[in-house]
Structure 1
Amino acid sequence: MRALVLDGSGMERYREGGSDGGSGAGRDTHRVTSAIAFSFARAGADRLALRDVLLASPAPGGALLRDLAHAKGHDHASKYLDRVWRRAVRVTGESAPIRERRDALAAVAERRIAIEVFPWRGQAGQTDRANLLYRLGLCERAGGFDHEVSQRQLALGIGAGESTVKRSDARLVAAGWLWRVEQGGSGKSSKWVLGKPRAGSADAVSPVDPNRQVGHEAPGYLDGVNRRQTSATVPAVPSDAPVELDFRLLTDLMTRDAFRARGLGKTAAEVVAALAYRDGQSAVELASSTRRHRATVHARLTPLMEHGLVVKTGELYYLADGLLDAPAGRPQGSRLPAWKPVDRWDDVAVDLGVFGTGYRQWCLYAFDRIAADDVYRRVREHARPARPAAELTDQDRAFLNYWSAAFEDADRVVGA
């Protein structure tokens, strides 16, 4: 923040990212001014100090605000700055300051709780939650809300298609859960920041909106048991029922081939995560733990029992013995999906005929990256400048020499 105020460095971060509305110079002014105001409030400064730095001094960080004062008057800019300052004081007073890595990790833990208890709805909500849970793992390793991830890496991480991830990111950005700092390109991932949903944005996340969803995702596209629930459907489970899942296990299961769309499905992964959280539940209790319809839970329990992942004793369901033992999985930090079975989940994927889906998807993305890099290389090699470089003629050089000599003579006269 000191560099932003004194040098104006990092201002492009606020120009490119953000989840707030608006566009153009007004949006950029608000983002930069708000960021500086929050830093002043965190440091215990007062409103007059903020006004002196941004309006009265030539500090580069206040250039956008001074442009506003020049365009609409000093009084308008002062009143606007007062509103930004009051909001900064209020928000900083409600949250603990982040001064070291321990505070940042505590803030990330709070955000994890907020994501886990949020009422995610429908299949789109299932994807959005998996999206954020995967990003949380990156944030916990990075020690803050800033993280880098590409859409293809995210698609592999949650076991979904690239187009599904793209729609999920758009929903989360619109609701305030995410904002993009820098657009990715050849050889680099996009830079993101994990945020908080704005007030009243619960209905904006994972909407069942026929105007924004196409094909099989549109409500009512299929009739019968596969029809997606709409807002008019009366849920069998109260909407405020707590979700009781082992979310870290759920994040790992989302990447497994066995729980992809043509396998057991994401809801089956939620059932396993619910039993990992609290083993020995009835179907009604599992519906409450997962916040899914009882018919959906029954439909997922049948294949889980057929493949020996879940056993039924009386009316209660339990995880099979040794199911959650540490698998002989890929090395820590490796992004390469398994290309041969390494644990029980992979054996189930082999039985279902879906094993290798993640590996084939990774190979496809790798070939796409190689092809794209080759295209970029050939474009750079054959690129030509937009216009020929200007070359000075002898006449130009003679004029410049005459001008510089005359300028030096005039400077000596003024100095004398």
Structure 2
Amino acid sequence: MVVEGAGMDRYREGGSDGGSGAGRDTHRVTSAIAFSFARAGADLLALRDILLASPAPGGALLRDLSRAKGYDHAAKYLDGVWRRAVRVTGESAPIRERRDAMAALAERRIMVETFPWDRQAGQTDRANLLHRLELCERAGGFDHEVSQRQLALGIGVGESTVKRSDLRLEEAGWLWRAEKGGAGKSSKWVLGKPRKRSADVVSPVDPNRQVGHEAPGYLDGVNRRHTPTTTAPPPSGSPAELDFRLLSDLMARDAFRARGLGKTAAEMVAALALRDGQTAVELAASTRRHRATVHARLAPLVEHRLVVKVGELYYLADGLLDAPAKRAEGSRLPSWRPVDRWDDLASDLGLFGSSYRQWCLYAFDRISADEVYRRVREHVRPARPANELTEQDWEFMNSWSSEGADWVVSA
């Protein structure tokens, strides 16, 4: 980046700092170079000579700042960037080989698993990050390439849900987009660390502070708060106690989609996989869900013989986890016929094939979009085509869209 200027577009296009214009680009590129110098053990004078005194392409943006606001202003700005780089690099171990990267990923996984994710949106955000962590662990670094449609299939939700989740995670600092994807190309992402948040931001629901749902099927309409005498409430911000790798595998299964057992049922299976034999109150604490929600989700689990109730304790059915929770290694196509117990369960619920139909819908959508843009490119254009589609192009696309529906169905 310093000598040849390669890789600068990655920092200029990515990130989630909310800035804009040349100042944002200057800060991202300069910070990346400063962090690399700090990792290598260089000093501020060497960095200043490279970026301000030499004609190196990597310092072009900083030299533009120097010409616009003066050398002293640019040097003072570089001093601040350098101090932050030294402080941050001193707090974390350097990544020099794959083993260091895997150790850093393990630390990040613990951070994701112990974070107090709140409500249904937090449930989706956690599943999003767990799926990305699997991709990063296979790649051996924080960089990964995935499209939002692949994520939607991977965690068993819709594409619009994934888009909202990505926006929340980018805003919180959990990840940033290094390169935006396009036709036939997925976006490139980098996992980050969340920004420090106050305790008031996360206000988890305490499952042990509600009465009125004291037993399955009992509802008296009262929603009073009280302090229980038998079981102490978990501390505020306590993490969920789940088998997160199993949870990540189950989230994409058809049986745990919204119209089936639901994501909370998958969490309870993951909680019992980690510690079998729990009461409903303990499951509420383990999953960090309301006790009424736990009772409602336990009923279908017992009905479909996934969970067995003995007295007041719940256990996983024998051999339940022997069924594979992942599709065949290397296969990107969801199963189109039942292959294990989870698929049989989805068939009983009338949901098997949802992932396959979603995959087909996305595939046809890609084919349709590629055909549209191919015909637009072949359409008559001005001598100097604009970067954006012209009004004439949009009229052509709108006129073709009604005709293209028949073509998509036939394809």
TM-score category (smaller protein): 0.7 to 0.9
Where 2:170 maps in the other structure, the secondary structure is helix
Aligned to 2:71: 74
Greater shift, 342-351 or 246-255, is seen at: 342-351
Aligned to 1:287: 284
The equivalences for 1:14-413 within 5 A come to 14-200=11-197, 237-327=234-324, 330-382=327-379, 384=381, 386-387=383-384
Amino acid in structure 1 at the alignment position of 2:71:
H
Would you say the 8 A contact 1:108–1:145 is kept in 2? yes
State the Cα deviation string for residues 228-286 of structure 1 (Å, max 9, x = none): xxxxxxx9754332321000100010000110000000000000000001111111111
Return the alpha-carbon distance in structure 1 between the equivalents of residues 175 and 62 of structure 2. 26
Give the drift of 1:347.
Answer: 1.4
Where 1:324 maps in the other structure, the secondary structure is helix
Return the alpha-carbon distance in structure 2 between the equivalents of residues 302 and 189 of structure 1. 40
Where 2:112 maps in the other structure, the secondary structure is helix
Aligned to 2:7: 10
Give the drift of 1:202.
Answer: 7.5
Would you say the 8 A contact 1:175–1:201 is kept in 2? no
State the Cα deviation string for residues 353-409 of structure 1 (Å, max 9, x = none): 111111111111111011111122222333535439xxxxxxxxxxxxxxxxxxxxx
Where 2:255 maps in the other structure, the secondary structure is helix
C-alpha distance 135-102 of structure 1, shift in aligned 2 (>3 A): same
Count of paired positions: 361
Give the drift of 1:346.
Answer: 1.2
Would you say the 8 A contact 1:18–1:181 is kept in 2? yes
C-alpha distance 201-238 of structure 1, shift in aligned 2 (>3 A): closer
Would you say the 8 A contact 2:114–2:238 is kept in 1? no
Give the drift of 1:333.
Answer: 2.0
Would you say the 8 A contact 2:280–2:313 is kept in 1? yes
Give the drift of 1:72.
Answer: 0.8
Q: TM-score, normalised by structure 1?
A: 0.83
Would you say the 8 A contact 2:204–2:236 is kept in 1? no
Where 2:327 maps in the other structure, the secondary structure is coil
C-alpha distance 79-186 of structure 1, shift in aligned 2 (>3 A): same
C-alpha distance 340-206 of structure 1, shift in aligned 2 (>3 A): farther
Return the alpha-carbon distance in structure 2 between the equivalents of residues 54 and 207 of structure 1. 47
Would you say the 8 A contact 1:160–1:260 is kept in 2? yes
Where 1:174 maps in the other structure, the secondary structure is helix
C-alpha distance 338-185 of structure 1, shift in aligned 2 (>3 A): same
Where 1:179 maps in the other structure, the secondary structure is strand
Where 1:368 maps in the other structure, the secondary structure is helix
Give the drift of 1:203.
Answer: 6.9
> Where does the alignment leave 5 or more consecutive residues of structure 2 unmatched?
206-220, 223-231, 386-411
> Where does the alignment leave 5 or more consecutive residues of structure 1 unmatched?
209-223, 226-234, 389-416
Return the alpha-carbon distance in structure 2 between the equivalents of residues 300 and 366 of structure 1. 34
Would you say the 8 A contact 1:159–1:255 is kept in 2? yes
Give the drift of 1:105.
Answer: 1.0
C-alpha distance 288-269 of structure 1, shift in aligned 2 (>3 A): same
Return the alpha-carbon distance in structure 1 between the equivalents of residues 276 and 28 of structure 2. 48
C-alpha distance 203-107 of structure 1, shift in aligned 2 (>3 A): farther
Would you say the 8 A contact 1:179–1:193 is kept in 2? yes
Return the alpha-carbon distance in structure 2 between the equivalents of residues 107 and 293 of structure 1. 33
Q: TM-score, normalised by structure 2?
A: 0.84
Where 1:123 maps in the other structure, the secondary structure is helix
Would you say the 8 A contact 1:239–1:291 is kept in 2? no
Would you say the 8 A contact 1:328–1:342 is kept in 2? no
Give the drift of 1:201.
Answer: 7.2
Where 2:315 maps in the other structure, the secondary structure is strand
Where 1:160 maps in the other structure, the secondary structure is coil
Would you say the 8 A contact 2:203–2:236 is kept in 1? no
Give the drift of 1:63.
Answer: 0.6
RMSD across aligned positions (CA) = 2.1
Amino acid in structure 2 at the alignment position of 1:121:
D
Where 2:100 maps in the other structure, the secondary structure is helix
State the Cα deviation string for residues 337-358 of structure 1 (Å, max 9, x = none): 1111111111111111111111
Give the drift of 1:27.
Answer: 0.7
- Give % identity: 83
